[in-house]
Amino acid sequence: MSGRASHFDAAGKARMVDVSPKPQSVRTARARAFVRMSRATLRALGENPKGNPLEVARIAGIQAAKRTSELIPLCHPLMLTHAGVEMTLKRDGVLIEATAATTAQTGVEMEALTAASVAALTVYDMTKGLDRDITIERIELLEKTGGRSGTWRRQARKKGARKP
């Protein structure tokens, strides 16, 4: 870390970072979240009276990515060229992976993280009547590309670490 708080001015006031001097580049990000639930709840997903929770969550995540700057005060509004959410059923929950892309002067990490988070919240909302023990875990950035810092990828977890 640089030790510099770029979202604060010299007087300590919050500010939006001025990215106007930065060149535009293609930027992508990939994030995930995990919704832990019982196997019985997983089996009941297709019979949910509210509709298909995974499809509703996919659309909610995409919509959230597009509205990130309305939710996170200092995020720049971005013209996304892609926003996607995919879900995979695991034996103990739903793994959500969100992607975002743009050509801009700033990255799309927050858009991917917001998409994964809102998709996870939507799965929770649509299944909480079946299982009050559902948890949302490990919302994390997996990868980002583009910009001055280039590509960054999350390192693999150490052996024995809990993973979704």
Tens-level pLDDT at each residue, the chain (164 residues): 444 547 777 777 787 777 888 889 999 999 999 999 999 999 998 887 777 899 999 999 999 999 999 999 999 999 999 999 999 999 999 999 999 999 998 999 999 999 999 999 999 999 998 889 999 999 999 999 998 889 999 998 766 666 56
Q: For residues 105 and 51, what is the distance between their CA atoms, to the nearest angstrom?
A: 39
Query: Which sequence positions are flagged as catalytic?
Result: 125
H-run or E-run covering 42: helix 39-44
Q: For residues 115 and 68, what is the distance between their CA atoms, to the nearest angstrom?
A: 8
Structural domains in the chain, CATH included, are 25-146 (3.30.70.640)
The helix/strand/coil state of 164 is coil
Give the ranges where 53-108 is alpha helix by DSSP (H): 53-66, 68-71
Q: For residues 61 and 71, what is the distance between their CA atoms, to the nearest angstrom?
A: 13
Q: For residues 98 and 143, what is the distance between their CA atoms, to the nearest angstrom?
A: 11
